[in-house]
Structure 1
Amino acid sequence: MTTGRRLVVCASHSPGMERDTEKAQGREFRDGLARAREEVAAFDPELVVLFGGDHRRAFRHVVPAFGIALSAGVMAEAGHPAATLDVPGDIARAMSEHLLRSGIDVAVCRKIDLDHAFAQPLRDLLGGLDRTPVIPLPVNCATPPLPPAERALAFGRAAGTFLDGLTERVLVIGTGGLSHSPPSLEVDTFELADEERARLIAQGAEAARKKINPEWDAAFLEAVAAWDEPALTVLADEATERAGVGANEVRTWLAAGATGGAGLRTLRYQVVEEWITGMAVAAST
């Protein structure tokens, strides 16, 4: 939904995009990101609300279905140094109280270190981590049992009701997906060292390329454009079987889109085999 006060942008992310320093891969997707970034710049947000998943790095032993960070940073990754995010604690606290009153059992997090799921969209869409205050809203997309799609939609609706009461121009971001099945998430373990993670990914990369499902991606983007919640619910709840474990990250798209409850137009979609992912970016009209 784009009103005078809100813009919604959803985009895939991938560590492979960071490794491709020459930007030779995923050119169509990168073009879509550039278009989205132009729209974000024209909108000039005063606050970012970012629904992102976790790759079993920030949350390992205790994994909330939904979280809200009152303070947070991003971990050092892919050549980028660790950094602290500018989280407006008073607004985040007020949002957490609103969510709880609305029936969303959200976990409050402090001093949590997030990974590229949060850092990448801030860099790609805003040009840096420190450009705009941001409220991170982690969604469990990786560690079963996962929240059902309907709960992700309810999370987004409740957040949207809170945002309706703000005067700031708010950019809402959903990040992750579409179809992909990272080998590091196919194993059911919460104690995975970074070295072991890298080994699993390298060993399984060739097989993972064959797990991209453009047909599922197309159906999902069509449902997003129409904001067909029944279809989105089925697609998200069946994501593991039809589109790989990484496709569960589309719960962040459901939450972000539900803040406005209106369709998102696809700016670009591209299968990027080098990143083992169907990559898409969409924005509100």
Structure 2
Amino acid sequence: MTAAAVGLSHSPLIGKNDPAPDVVASVEKAVDAARSFVRAFDPELVVLYAPDHYNGFFYKEMPPFCLATAAHAIGDFDSAAGPLSVDTDAANALARGALDRGIDLTVSARMTVDHGFVQPLEVLFGGIDHVPVVPVFVNGVATPLGPVSRIRALGTALGDAASALDRRVLFLGSGGLSHDPPVPVLDGAPPRVAGALIEGHPPTAEQRARGEQRVVQAGRDYAAGSTTMIPINPEWDNLVLDTFEDGRLTDVDDWTVEWMGTQGGGSAHEVRTWIAAFASLAATGPYRMTSRFYAPIPEWIAGFAVATAVEEHTT
């Protein structure tokens, strides 16, 4: 097997509440470099680690992570809707491999996914059905959250299991870095909101539109300096990126849930997707980061990053 990894932030506000043109241009340049990296690597399979934003997973059953043998995108924030090109045979093989390696993995035969999964597929591949994929949900918002060490263990197990596939495998982490968008929380929620978070009642088109507009307005308020959200934290974001670049993945075992939230905001735990992706790559052997981009972008409520990495022996 040949392996590579990409970490890519996502934001539903891209194209809806953009920063200055020079910032957009710098992001597009970094994304173009990642696209070129992916084209050159030409993956035969993508293992995609991504979060959910209460569109597919709810408190009625909330696993810490879940692998899909089939998945369908809902099309929120103008992202693509429809089935992902899930490689069911590879998904089943990876699921068995993770379970054999001591990971208590949940498996979904009908996963619902949102823009957290769709954006990286659209950005890097041009669509949700352009490359065989194994989607892996990693919970990054619904408390209580488990220890970060278990996410590293998940990535390690799936990376090790992928070695048996004898294919070019791209491990892709979607999310992060520091950001604190207006995501609803169960604790203290009014009954209607609590019911939706527990049961997962699909919103009407009108309700979804109103919710998406609230997020857009939150981005505008944040960029204007009027907000109660935890600020983007470039120092913490770069510490996270340094950890991946230096290959010091065991350091994440000491990252506590509380520390991550204090440093990076309520949705900083989307960094768990990057941890899983880089742990999967590290399971195949030493790696080196080939590109790294970072910018704090208030308009997108995100410490926005793009990074690529390959096995050390890969030219």
TM-score of the aligned structures, taking structure 2 as reference length = 0.82
**Partner of residue 57 from structure 1, selected from 43, 47, 55:** 55
2:246 match: 226
2:45 match: 47
Aligned positions, number? 282
State whether residues 66 and 105 of structure 1, in contact with CA within 8 Å, keep that contact through their aligned partners in structure 2: no
State whether residues 17 and 300 of structure 2, in contact with CA within 8 Å, keep that contact through their aligned partners in structure 1: no
1:31 match: 29
1:19 match: 16
2:159 match: 160
1:250 match: 271
State whether residues 232 and 296 of structure 2, in contact with CA within 8 Å, keep that contact through their aligned partners in structure 1: yes
The 3 A distance-change label for structure 1 pair 140 and 22 is closer
Larger deviation: 94-103 or 136-145? 94-103
* Partner Cα distance (1:136, 1:124) in 2: 16
Q: Secondary structure in 1 aligned to 2:14?
A: helix
CA drift of 1:23 comes to: 9.2
CA drift of 1:234 comes to: 3.7
Identity %: 35
In structure 2, give the amino acid aligned to 1:44. Answer: D
How do residues 87-106 of structure 1 correspond to structure 2 at under 5 angstroms? 87-106=86-105
2:293 match: 268
The 3 A distance-change label for structure 1 pair 23 and 75 is farther
Q: Secondary structure in 2 aligned to 1:271?
A: strand
Q: Do residues 217 (structure 1) and 206 (structure 2) align?
A: no
Q: Secondary structure in 2 aligned to 1:121?
A: helix
* Partner Cα distance (2:46, 2:170) in 1: 5
Q: Do residues 117 (structure 1) and 142 (structure 2) align?
A: no
CA drift of 1:18 comes to: 4.2
Which whole-Å deviations, capped at 9, do the CAs of 1:145-202 have from their partners, x for residues lacking one? 1121100000000001111111221111011000000112466455265356446533
Q: Secondary structure in 2 aligned to 1:122?
A: helix
Q: Look at both structures and tell me which one has the larger radius of gyration over its CA atoms.
A: 2
In structure 2, give the amino acid aligned to 1:28. Answer: S
TM-score of the aligned structures, taking structure 1 as reference length = 0.90
Q: Secondary structure in 2 aligned to 1:78?
A: helix
Larger deviation: 134-143 or 196-205? 196-205
CA drift of 1:258 comes to: 0.5
1:138 match: 137
CA drift of 1:264 comes to: 3.3
* Partner Cα distance (1:171, 1:283) in 2: 10
> Cα RMSD between the aligned structures?
2.3
In structure 1, give the amino acid aligned to 2:263. Answer: R
Q: Which ranges of structure 1 fall in alignment gaps of 5 or more residues?
A: none
1:10 match: 7
